[in-house]
Structure 1
């Protein structure tokens, strides 16, 4: 049986099957959501906030709790979309603002440009570059180093 879920801040309502995880629904909507670990709950690239309806989702498992503990912008209503299965109605999902560092194909193209939205660390959701900042070569080098560290950590998990 299908359930209705509301997505914020885009004010969009979608259907999802009972026991399906939030990530599969977000991917079906062609939203810009990463899932670097393949949906195993090891990274934070599918991190979302649940505005209402937490009781209508599956409980957080040990892996999800461990990963959420690493997220700097984690809140009580934080969930990993790959681990949260829909059980009931009344769920409102808030998508985090910003884009993940791992989504940027060529960092060098950012040099001299102003970032429109924050650039986030895909492992912990921390803001690496604030929105409105101009990207310098030294900042790009720092971001490239962060990407190497992120890839190294993901291959170890």
Structure 2
């Protein structure tokens, strides 16, 4: 069965299949959404806010709850797009402002430049470089260390 969801602030409305997750819907619109953990609910890179229709989504698993607990930008309306299945109509998804950092190599070329949009930490969702501020080498080094820790964690939890 087909359900309708809305994406804010890009003012897109789209039809999705019942039981598909929000991440699939976002990717079908060719939005640049990261999925560092491969859609297993273990990272924060597909974090979204539900403006309306929380009751039209699947319940939250314990894994999703634990992941959202570490996101500094999480609210009571937060969900992981990979985990939230669409069960009914009327879901309005708000995409977080900013860009999650996942490719340190790409960002290294930006050292000394001003961020064109907020750069978000891939795990916590915290703004690490505000829009208009300089991107520094120390921030990149900190993120590179975090990336290695996350890679180790994900490698240990494969199949979990």
TM range (shorter): over 0.9
Equivalent residue number for residue 155 of structure 1: 155
Shift of 1:78: 0.2
Shift of 1:80: 0.5
Equivalent residue number for residue 92 of structure 1: 92
Residues 57 and 87, structure 1, Cα contact 8 Å, conserved in 2:
yes
SS state of the match for residue 3, structure 1? Answer: strand
Deviations 1:126-145 (A, max 9, x none): 11111111123333333333
**In terms of mean alpha carbon deviation, does 145-154 or 74-83 score higher?**
145-154
RMSD of aligned C-alpha atoms?
Answer: 1.5
Residues 43 and 154, structure 1, Cα contact 8 Å, conserved in 2:
no
**In terms of mean alpha carbon deviation, does 31-40 or 143-152 score higher?**
143-152
SS state of the match for residue 102, structure 1? Answer: coil
SS state of the match for residue 109, structure 2? Answer: helix
**Matches of 1:91 and 1:26, distance apart in 2:** 13
Aligned length: 157
Alignment of 1:1-157 (within 5 A): 1-103=1-103, 105-157=105-157
**In terms of mean alpha carbon deviation, does 144-153 or 118-127 score higher?**
144-153
Residues 104 and 144, structure 2, Cα contact 8 Å, conserved in 1:
no
SS state of the match for residue 40, structure 2? Answer: coil
Q: Which runs of 5+ in 2 are unaligned?
A: none
Relative to structure 1, the CA distance from residue 62 to residue 137 in structure 2 (aligned partners, 3 Å threshold; closer, same or farther) is closer
Q: Which runs of 5+ in 1 are unaligned?
A: none
**Matches of 1:145 and 1:39, distance apart in 2:** 22
Q: Give the alignment's TM-score, normalised by structure 2.
A: 0.91
